């Protein structure tokens, strides 16, 4: 009998060497470690391959800059609601007919509707932040443009509040 005859099927298998490298611990039971792994070791932060074909790509982890933009937009949405209600209480007029109807129905419904529509729109934009639309504008650029538009709106409303001598706090 030669050496080749003494080998088993397991020895000839290409997976045999992989089985020897396995650790004794089961990763599925380390949930906390898997949770932190998602945030610090995730791979899907950019294109999947080096040879990107120019189409949009989806990622699992978004950068801190995008998170900051989204949080700022949501805070400006709340500020816009507050300033709008302050201006309306001193003789201002809501020009958006949908929002006007919501305010006349209930201020709470107005606030939640405005916030939910903004948050849902931001989720859609976040999902497609790497997509290109309208001749090459990325979703990330749209998010930044929304942030700038909200900043200009808030500055305009603050000027209106100061011109009308409205006290906001107190």
Q: What is the pLDDT of residue 94?
A: 92
Give the pLDDT mean for 1-22: 55
Q: What is the pLDDT of residue 22?
A: 58
CB 139 within 8 A of CB 125: yes
Poorest-confidence range of 54-58, 60-64, 134-138? 54-58
Mean pLDDT of the chain: 78
Poorest-confidence range of 5-19, 100-114, 121-135? 5-19
Q: In whole angstroms, give the CA distance from residue 91 to residue 10.
A: 84
Tally of residues, the chain = 170
Q: In whole angstroms, give the CA distance from residue 110 to residue 124.
A: 21
By percentage, how much of the chain surpasses pLDDT 70?
63
| Residue 64 Cα to chain centre, angstroms | 10
15 token code pair = 């997976």
Q: What are phi and psi of 137, to 5 degrees?
A: -80, 130
Identify any residues that bridge with 133 across adjacent strands, giving them in sequence order. 137
CB count within 10 Å of CB 139 equals: 19
Q: In whole angstroms, give the CA distance from residue 39 to residue 159.
A: 41
pLDDT, one tens digit per residue, over 69-110 is: 999 999 999 999 999 999 999 999 999 999 999 999 999 999
């Amino acid at each position: 009998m030669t050496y080749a005859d003494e080998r088993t099927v397991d020895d000839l298998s290409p997976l045999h060497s992989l089985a020897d490298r396995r650790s004794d611990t089961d990763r599925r039971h380390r949930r906390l470690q898997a949770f932190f792994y998602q945030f610090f070791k995730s791979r899907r932060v950019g294109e999947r391959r080096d040879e990107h074909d120019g189409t949009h790509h989806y990622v699992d982890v978004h950068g801190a800059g995008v998170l900051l933009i989204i949080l700022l937009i949501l805070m400006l949405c709340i500020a816009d609601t507050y300033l709008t209600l302050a201006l309306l209480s001193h003789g201002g007029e809501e020009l958006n007919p949908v929002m006007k109807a919501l305010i006349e129905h209930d201020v709470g419904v107005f606030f939640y509707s405005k916030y939910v529509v903004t948050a849902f729109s931001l989720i859609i934009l976040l999902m497609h932040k790497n997509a290109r639309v309208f001749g090459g504008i990325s979703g990330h650029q749209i998010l930044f443009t929304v942030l700038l538009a909200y900043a200009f709106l808030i500055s305009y409303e603050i000027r209106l509040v100061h011109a009308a001598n409205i006290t906001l706090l107190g």
